[in-house]
Structure 1
Amino acid sequence: MARITYSGRQLMRAAQRYEEGLLDKVSDIVYETARLIKTEAQALAPVDDSSLKDSIEMKMLGKYNAEVTVSVGYAIFVEFGTGIYAEGPGGSRAKKIPWVYYSEKLGHWVTSSGIKAQPFWGPAVDAGSDYFKTEMRRLGL
């Protein structure tokens, strides 16, 4: 049987190296989680003119803090639907269904009862959460 002994200073240095290595791994997990959320959201986002997909961005705000954002204003309507199809908190709050609006893109008036939800954000965040929890458990945290 081998016997290993550490002096107080050796033990402190070993513990410090272990802590630094562990913190680096945690930082990597934070980065990979944010990257996973971004790529999943982009993969699930419906594509019309790619502005929704292109608006999904990720940035690190330090070693242990990341932010993934969607910058187009209509993203919430894609995620939860509108009109009679609204699935978000509170359901539909439409005052008048169907409604009519002028589409600059189509060049004519359009009648709508809403659009069905096309979730891209929630599933991406769920996948990121699962990844983060799995990886942190592997580290024993």
Structure 2
Amino acid sequence: MGSRITYGSRKLKRAFGRYREDVELHVKRVVRETATLIVTEVKARMPRDSGAMQDSVTLTIQDDGLTAIIHIGAFYALYVNYGTGIYAEGPGGSRAKKIPWVYFSEKYQRFVTTSGMRSQEFWDPAIDIGAHYFIREMGRM
């Protein structure tokens, strides 16, 4: 037979239980608000041509509200954010085999020669704003 020794009263245990629930609700609220802020910032900072890139941004909340996943579905978002060719600033730099290169532009209906496109950064500034908000709000508990 084992024995169990507990300290405190039932009132104290209930108070700790309520505090834990309050903390969890606070964290879930901050996660949701931070993710929503990042999505808003990303969309506002993206260059707008057809609006397809903004429309491809989605937010999914998982793990009962403790995890937020932001996904950008437009395959070219990486190139817009980090640049291409001689202007590439992102992970790994340029992967162009030949600079300058030629491609057919659907928009202009002609062949175009380019050395790349400058970055139009939207991701990192939005993450920085979200991180600042997250840290400030978590400190308010």
Considering the TM-score relative to the shorter chain, is it more than 0.5? Answer: yes
CA RMSD in angstroms, aligned pairs only? 1.2
**Aligned sequence identity (%):** 49
Cα distance in 2 for residues equivalent to 1:26 and 1:90:
35
- Residue-pair matches, total: 133
Cα distance in 2 for residues equivalent to 1:72 and 1:79:
12
4+ aligned runs moved over 3 Å, structure 1? none
- One of 112, 115, 139 as aligned partner of 1:113: 115
Q: Which letter does structure 2 place at the counterpart of 1:13?
A: R
- One of 69, 84, 107 as aligned partner of 1:67: 69
Query: 1:124 matched to which residue of 2?
Result: 126
Could you tell me which runs of 5 or more consecutive residues in structure 2 were left unpaired when the two chains were aligned: 1-7
Query: 1:52 matched to which residue of 2?
Result: 53
| Aligned-residue offset at 1:112 | 1.0
SS of 2:16 mapped into structure 1? helix
Cα distance in 2 for residues equivalent to 1:40 and 1:86:
22
Could you tell me which runs of 5 or more consecutive residues in structure 1 were left unpaired when the two chains were aligned: 1-6
Task: Give TM-score, length-normalised by structure 1.
Answer: 0.89
| Aligned-residue offset at 1:123 | 1.0
Cα distance in 1 for residues equivalent to 2:72 and 2:17:
39
Q: Which letter does structure 2 place at the counterpart of 1:34?
A: A
Query: 1:100 matched to which residue of 2?
Result: 102
Q: Which letter does structure 2 place at the counterpart of 1:52?
A: M
Task: Give TM-score, length-normalised by structure 2.
Answer: 0.89
